Chain A
Amino acid sequence: MPLVTRTALRTDLEIEALLAEDQAKDLLRFTTAGSVDDGKSTLIGRLLYDSKNVFEDHIRSVAKASANRGNGTLDLSLLTDGLRAEREQGITIDVAYRYFTTSKRKFIIADTPGHEQYTRNMATGASTADLAIVLIDARNGVLPQSRRHAFIASLLGIPNLVVAVNKMDAVRYDEGVFRWIESEFGRFLDDLRVPAAYFLPISALVGDNVVTRSEAMHWFKGPSLLEHLETVEVASTAPDSEFRFPVQYVIRPNQDFRGYAGQIGSGFIRPGDEVLVLPAGRKSRVKSIASFDGDLDLAHAPMSVTLTLEDNIDISRGDMLACPIQKPLVSRQFEAHVVWMSETALHPNTPLLLKHTTQMVAAEVKSIEHRINIRTLEAEPTDTLALNEIGILRIAASKPLYFDPYRENRATGCFSLIDPGTNATVGAGMIIREVAEQRRRTVERRNVLTPVTLAERNLRWGHTGAVVSYGDRPQLGVILERELFERGAVVVRLAHQPSDAEREQAISAGLLLLVPGDADIALSSDDQDAANALIEQLALSGVLVSDELTGGKGI
């Protein structure tokens, strides 16, 4: 007996052709938010079942479970494990990822529960999505939670939105119901400035307009949900989107090769292109795009590549290579939307760690401007941010970040917040705009019993910790020390080379340490000029940040 009943196997050549076709498929990541009652599980089950992405044994087990429930028909919601069962078992309801493929595309679904208390999960699922499906129950019309889903999708910058009006079978496929929801919700989306949403009437239960077009709704001429997912234009690397390359890792196998590895955040790059190196503030040109498969002529987002530069510049993890014309913003302070994800409420002045592109820096919330009421979507004043709340915050990082507003660039506009005490990820942030540094420091009320943090030292002193070499020129060291000291820096000059441990201690204490040794940049032979040049360099590199220290020369 044959192991498998099957049609004749194809030849290697035929298979090769099919494989080539398959490789050309791109990947669409989408998120579905909705509660059990919206029919979300049924919709995903229907998508998988009708697009023939479910295995026989899986269907058998679902058929058995459906029968056990005294339900004659196949309960497709059980295909996605059933959130209900999980809730009964008390398992944390969380983001689940599912995979399926059709002849046109590969798909990753981030399946998230849509209840108010799961805002955190919706935001997590939405953070990597290209498209969001908002489900509206035709019988209930637009509910606050429908608005909430759309709001979170727009907040997380998902470029495409689908509004699926479900359970049309329960309203006798009435066009009027659909059109009314379309116009009401459409106005709301206009207010949110959601660029384009695709509205369609479906019945996940019966299968109308999910994979195949509905026989029951001839009044609707648009493509089915799956047809739309297969063909929708996903915002690609737009030709004019600026090159952003956060340096992730320096590859240095020998003296002759120094490569900067990273994933291109946006834009594209070719050998010969000019790049701005941040924080060094210097320009250079790309010498090569090195890869295991040979040098490349072109690389674009979201490729992971390794770049070499024409010039020898000291670049390390956390630095950024960027388009020199359309530069990113550089600031230590900024305003951002934050989705708070911790059981412990957020208070201003709490010390946090902030992960942005490839850097992790100390940060603190300066103020909570307001909270966005998730039911009314209105701003309201607040002093704290609780779990699942969304606020607009002013945040100060211990050193400058290189970023773009999230609406313009998701890769460089997003950040996460980490509690340094528990190491938990506690917040998702989306930068709105930079905030000019305040000239005069306001005295803040704070709990005097907590230890002084590095972020606080940096804020107070106006600089981060750094070790600066004055070469073999003691007089230059004296001038540099005096200049920085007079401007208010906490600076110490050493006459000997410090140990590695001493260097690290100085940097982690936020001190400026002046040491003898090899200077890595060529300096004027005049000590005063050289001191000025070094200070300028420190300002450009983001070590000196306050106006008092930089004399307004910071970037």
Chain B
Amino acid sequence: MLGYYLMLPRLGHLRTLEAESMHIMREVASEFQRPVMLYSIGKDSSVMLRLAQKAFYPAPFPFPLLHIDTGYKFREMITFRDEYTASIKANLIVHKNQQALDNGTNPVELGTARCCGLLKTKSLLDGLREGGFDAALGGARRDEERSRAKERIYSFRDARGQWDPKNQRPELWNLYNGRVDPGESIRIFPLSNWTEMDVWHYIHIERIPIVPLYFAAERSMLVRGETLIPVEQPFMKPMPGEKPELVRCRMRSLGCSPCTGAIRSDADTVPKIIEELVSFRRSERENRVIDHDQEGSMEIKKREGYF
């Protein structure tokens, strides 16, 4: 023994999650030939970047970032992406399905499912193949959707990029199995055990930069009932008699501007956003009838990026 008594506190939950995520990223950097981090510009991606910086400090993190650009991201997202990744000296790869865009692919013409299939899913698989990446780090969390509760931290994909939920490897202790045959790959989710609230708290205590669209501001929107639709793309046409209005609002999740709704909000700081999320909960706890987006209290069902 060391001859003196030292009572150590239990690590707080955020620091425990941070340590786990750093461990996972270091495992990936150690055991794969060509790892890449998928970067969606959203808040979870910002947290991933900070964790990667911490895991390999003082060296730069040893993998590039891959952004699947659908061509319809908010302009503010692209500006943020370019400025922030340059400021931390990250190696950013942008992949776009230019052919589909040239063919006029957009959600209004094709429907969201086909549009996402061409501009996100196909583009992602192409981007991974072109880069020869055998491991892709992503920011998905288990609390996003109930169906993800059984997703592994290391999610195995066969040579066609498919996931087989019936045949997952048991994940024991912190011993991850990253063995793959040529052509196969693994998606790795270091934020698996984080909740949405954890992500916001971490952004707050770490002062992590995020896209300003998350904060409330006066923005030009088409108002359809409770739905606020941003007008950035020419194919998002107002209905007869409809005019964009200035509304104080913010985005709860960031995707392509035609498919991302805004919410009315005054939350212009991270603590206020957290308070807003808590108050949604509180309202629900008190069993009041609330009128908000059916699709996603607490952004639980959001599908940010392509995961």
**Interface set of A (CB-CB < 8 Å, partner B):** 1, 3-7, 9-10, 12, 15-16, 19, 22-27, 52, 55-57, 81, 91-92, 94-99, 101, 105-106, 108, 120-121, 123-124, 127-128, 234, 236-237, 239-240, 248-249, 251-253, 257, 259, 261-263, 268, 290-293, 300, 302-304, 306, 317, 323, 325-326, 341, 353, 355-356, 358, 410-411, 414-416, 418, 423-425, 428
Contact = CB atoms under 8 A, between A and B. Distances in A.
A418 B170 CA distance: 11
B224 interface: no
Given A10-B275, A415-B175, A249 B26 contact: yes
A124 B170 contact: yes
Task: Point out which of B60, B179, B291 has the most chain A C-beta atoms below 10 A from its C-beta.
Answer: B179
Contacts of B113: none
Contacts of B60: 253
Nearest to B288: A5
Contacts of B1: 240, 325-326
A16 B12 contact: no
10 contacts: A26-B13, A57-B297, A96-B150, A97-B193, A127-B173, A239-B7, A263-B22, A291-B54, A292-B57, A428-B170
B18 A96 contact: no
Interface string B259-303: 000011110010110111001111111011111101001101000
B4 to A, nearest CB: 8
A57 B280 CA distance: 12
A416 B12 contact: no
Main secondary structure of the interface of A (DSSP, over half): mixed
A239 B20 CA distance: 22
A9 B195 CA distance: 22
Contact of B54 (A22, A52, A292, A416): A292
B13 A4 contact: no
Given A128-B174, A239-B8, 20 more contacts: A4-B280, A4-B291, A23-B201, A24-B12, A25-B12, A26-B11, A26-B12, A56-B287, A57-B297, A81-B149, A99-B195, A101-B197, A123-B172, A124-B171, A128-B173, A236-B10, A251-B56, A252-B59, A425-B169, A428-B172
Task: Point out which of A12, A252, A356 has the most chain B C-beta atoms below 10 A from its C-beta.
Answer: A12
A15 B275 contact: yes
Task: Point out which of A9, A292, A326 has the most chain B C-beta atoms below 10 A from its C-beta.
Answer: A292
A507 B276 CA distance: 59
A388 to B, nearest CB: 11
B267 to A, nearest CB: 8
B8 A304 contact: no
B279 A4 contact: yes
B300 A55 contact: yes
A97 B281 CA distance: 21
B160 interface: no
A94 B56 contact: no
A229 to B, nearest CB: 14
Interface in B6-59: 6-20, 22-23, 26-27, 29-30, 53-59
Contact of B57 (A236, A291, A303, A423): A291
Contacts of A5: 283, 288-290
A99 B276 CA distance: 20
Interface string B164-185: 0111111111110101110000
Contacts of A418: 177, 179
A40 B252 CA distance: 34
Contacts of A356: 175
Contacts of A249: 26, 29-30, 56
B243 interface: no
Contacts of B197: 101
Contact of B12 (A23, A96, A341): A23
A228 B198 CA distance: 23
A202 to B, nearest CB: 23
A259 B193 CA distance: 28
What 6 A-B pairs have minimum CB-CB distances, sorted nearest first?
A304-B22, A253-B59, A423-B179, A27-B13, A15-B271, A56-B284
Contacts of A239: 5-8
B204 A300 contact: no
B19 A263 contact: yes
Contacts of B172: 123-124, 127, 414, 416, 425, 428
B19 A55 contact: no
Contacts of B168: 92, 94
Given A99-B143, A239-B6, A300-B8, A23 B14 contact: yes
Given A25-B13, A355-B175, A302 B283 contact: no
B142 interface: yes
A19 B142 contact: no
A19 B13 contact: no
Contacts of B18: 304
B225 to A, nearest CB: 10
Contacts of A19: 201, 204-205, 271, 274
A263 B54 contact: no
